[in-house]
Every structure is written in structure tokens, then in C-alpha cells.
Amino acid sequence: MTIPLEERLIQHIPDLRRFARSLERNRVAADDLVQETLERAIKKMHLYEPSGPFIGWLNTIMRNIFVDRVRRRKLNTATPLDDAPRLEPYQNENQIDRLVLKELRVAVDQLPTEQRQVLLMIAVQGLSYEDAAQRLGVPLGTIRSRLFRARANLIVKIDPDGELSGGRAARQRAANASTDSETTDLH
């Protein structure tokens, strides 16, 4: 027995909310995105091809609406209060953690939409690569590529010198520092 498309639409609302929340940082904007996605899906229900996953079709609608919104925001030079940077209260015991999380949040927000989408679906929502590929309607290799690029971009933005990750740059500086100290001891 086939479930009517309207019922399938209702079943996927929690998934749409999670996806919208990963795209939009503001809860109200995310809810608006879900509502607009549902409206458009109902209007375009006759265009759904059952060959692909239903949630993938819904996610594509949502992603397209989101991209349209981002383009409109870029045209609008005024910054709405919801998008203005928030001042976080002073907390001594976990101030460093807050700064690191804030830096991570900014770096994730700066990722291209496709990379951010995949990163959040896998790292935050806990989806498998296969599930993410199915939801987005793209090949598995595309998911792996976008995730690799997202991680690489985050590393560059958060730790450009490789100091935190023990990268090549950090090892090179450590080697240079030990060589410099040896030459100064000789003179």
C-alpha cells in the first residue's frame, strides 16, 4: 500500500525542521523556511517524480528557497537585528571554550552552502554518508568530496598555521626553534 504524498509530507516535517535549522541560524527564519518549503511542495506536488527519495525532493526545494533568500539578503545592505552579532555574557570558567565555539560557528557559517549542508548533516545530525547522499539526491562521492573540502576549509580558517593540529607548519617552526636555540648557544 502506498502512502499518500500529503501524509509523507507530514512525516518529513521533523527532518525538514532539522535541515532548516542547519541552514538558518535563527529559529524563526528556520520555521519560515520549513513553512515556505511545505507550501511550495504542496503547490508543486504534481511535479514529484517517484523515482527518487521524497525527502531528497523536499530538501532540494528547501535548499533552492534558502539560496534565493541568501541572494536577496546580499542585495539588502541593512543588517536585521536577528543577524547582528550577539554579545555573549562573561563567564570566566569556560571563556576559552566559548571563544573556540564562536570561532567555529563563524567558520562554519562562512563555508559554501553545499559544504556546510553536508558537514552539518553528517557531523551534527549524525547521518551516514549514504543517507546524506540520498537526502540531497547526489552521488556518494559528491558527499565525500564536499565533506573533505568542508573539513579542509575549517582547518584553514581555524588553524591556518597548523599549530593546533600539529601540522607540518607547527613541526617546521618547532624544528626551526630548536635549531635557532642551538646556534645561539654556540656563540
Closest to 24 in 3D by CA, of 74, 76, 65: 65
Rounded to the nearest 10 degrees, the angle between the axes of helix 140-158 and helix 95-110 is 130
Q: Name, in order, each residue with C-beta under 8 angstroms of 108's C-beta and a sequence gap of 6 or more.
A: 116, 119, 120, 154
Quote the mean pLDDT of the chain: 78
- Domains belonging to the chain, first-starting first, are 1-83 (1.10.1740.10), 85-187 (1.10.10.10)
Please say if the pLDDT value at position 146 is more than 90: yes
Highest mean pLDDT among 24-28, 44-48, 129-133: 129-133
Give the C-alpha separation, 38 to 31, whole Å.
Answer: 11
- Cell 518529513 identifies what position? 12
Q: Which residue has the higher pLDDT, 73 or 108?
A: 108
Percent of the chain past pLDDT 90, that is, above it, reads 20
For the segment 11-26, the average pLDDT, to the nearest whole number, is: 88
Residue 108: its pLDDT value, please? 87
- What's the pLDDT tens digit per position in 37-96? 999 988 988 887 777 788 888 988 999 999 888 888 777 655 555 666 666 555 555 666
Asked whether the beta carbons of 65 and 33 are under 8 A apart, the reply is yes
